[in-house]
C-alpha cells in the first residue's frame, strides 16, 4: 500500500506536473501551463483528504494551504509573478510554524495528536501527554524542522527563479520534489523518534505508579 502511495505521490506531484509544463507551455503559455500543472496535485491531495478522513488539524491545514495557494496563483498577473508569490507564501507558512513554536503551540504536536486519534487514542489525553516534560521539547524541535524546510525550499526556489526566470519552472518542479522527499523522510524519522520517546515515557510512568513490594517480614 505504501509503495502505491509513494508512486502516486511521484506521479501527481512530480511527473504529471512536469509533463504538463513541458508539453503545454508552447500551446498555453507559461502562465496557464503553470496553473494547469498544479491541478493534478490539488485533485490528488483533496481525494486523499476525503479517502483518509483527515478531518483534523493536519487535514484542515493541508486543504487551507491548497486553497490559499490556488487563490494566489489565480490572482497573479503572469507566470513570473506567480512563482515569486509562491515563494513569499512559502516563507509565510514557515513563519506560521515559527510562531507556533514561539507561542508554545507547536504544530507538530497537533499533527501527532491527529495521528494518535486515527489509532484510537482520545485527542485531549494525547495532547496532555505530549505536553509533559521530556516530550514537549521534541515537538518544538520537530516543528523547527518544518521551519527549516520552508526556509530551505523557498530559498532554493527563489534562487532558481532568479537564475532561470519562468523558463526554469521545470527545474523548480524537480528540485522542489527532491528536496521535499528529503525533508519528508527527516520529518517521518522525527515522528518515529518521538514515538519511541513516548513509549519509553509511558513505561517509566507505569513503573513509578507500581507500588513497592511489602517489606514487612513474617
Query: H/E element holding 151?
Result: helix 136-164
* Cβ atoms < 10 Å from Cβ of 168: 17
For residues 3-22, average pLDDT? 73
Q: Do the beta carbons of residue 111 and residue 188 sit within 8 Å?
A: no
Q: What is the pLDDT of residues 20-68, one digit of tens each?
A: 877 777 777 777 777 787 788 778 777 776 776 554 677 667 767 877 8
Q: Dump pLDDT digits (tens) for 112-155.
A: 988 887 677 888 888 999 999 889 999 999 999 999 999 999 99
Residue from 111, 109, 110, 72 nearest 91 by CA: 72
pLDDT at residue 4 in the model? 67
Instruction: Summarize the confidence of residues 68-82 as an average pLDDT.
Output: 85
Residue 156: helix, strand or coil by DSSP?
helix
With CA atoms as reference, report the closest residue to 94 among 6, 54, 174, 153: 153
pTM metric for this prediction: 0.78
Amino acid at each position: 500500500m505504501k509503495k502505491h502511495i509513494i508512486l502516486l505521490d511521484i506521479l501527481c506531484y512530480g511527473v504529471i506536473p512536469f509533463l504538463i509544463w513541458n508539453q503545454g507551455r508552447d500551446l498555453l503559455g507559461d502562465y496557464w501551463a503553470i496553473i494547469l500543472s498544479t491541478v493534478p496535485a490539488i485533485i490528488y491531495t483533496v481525494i486523499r483528504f476525503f479517502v483518509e478522513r483527515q478531518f483534523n488539524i493536519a487535514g484542515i491545514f493541508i486543504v487551507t494551504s491548497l486553497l490559499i495557494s490556488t487563490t494566489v496563483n489565480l490572482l497573479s498577473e503572469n507566470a513570473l509573478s506567480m512563482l515569486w508569490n509562491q515563494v513569499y507564501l512559502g516563507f509565510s507558512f514557515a513563519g506560521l510554524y515559527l510562531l507556533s513554536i514561539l507561542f508554545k503551540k507547536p504544530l507538530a504536536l497537533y499533527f501527532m495528536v491527529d495521528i494518535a486519534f486515527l489509532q484510537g487514542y482520545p485527542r485531549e489525553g494525547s495532547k496532555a501527554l505530549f505536553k509533559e516534560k521530556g516530550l514537549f521539547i521534541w515537538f518544538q524541535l520537530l516543528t523547527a524542522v518544518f521551519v527549516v524546510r520552508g526556509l530551505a525550499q523557498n530559498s532554493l526556489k527563489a534562487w532558481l527563479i532568479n537564475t532561470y526566470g519562468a523558463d526554469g519552472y521545470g527545474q523548480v518542479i524537480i528540485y522542489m520534489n527532491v528536496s521535499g522527499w528529503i525533508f519528508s523522510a527527516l520529518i517521518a524519522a522525527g515522528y518515529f523518534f518521538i514515538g519511541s520517546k513516548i513509549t519509553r515515557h509511558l513505561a517509566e510512568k507505569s513503573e513509578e505508579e507500581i507500588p513497592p513490594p511489602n517489606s514487612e517480614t513474617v
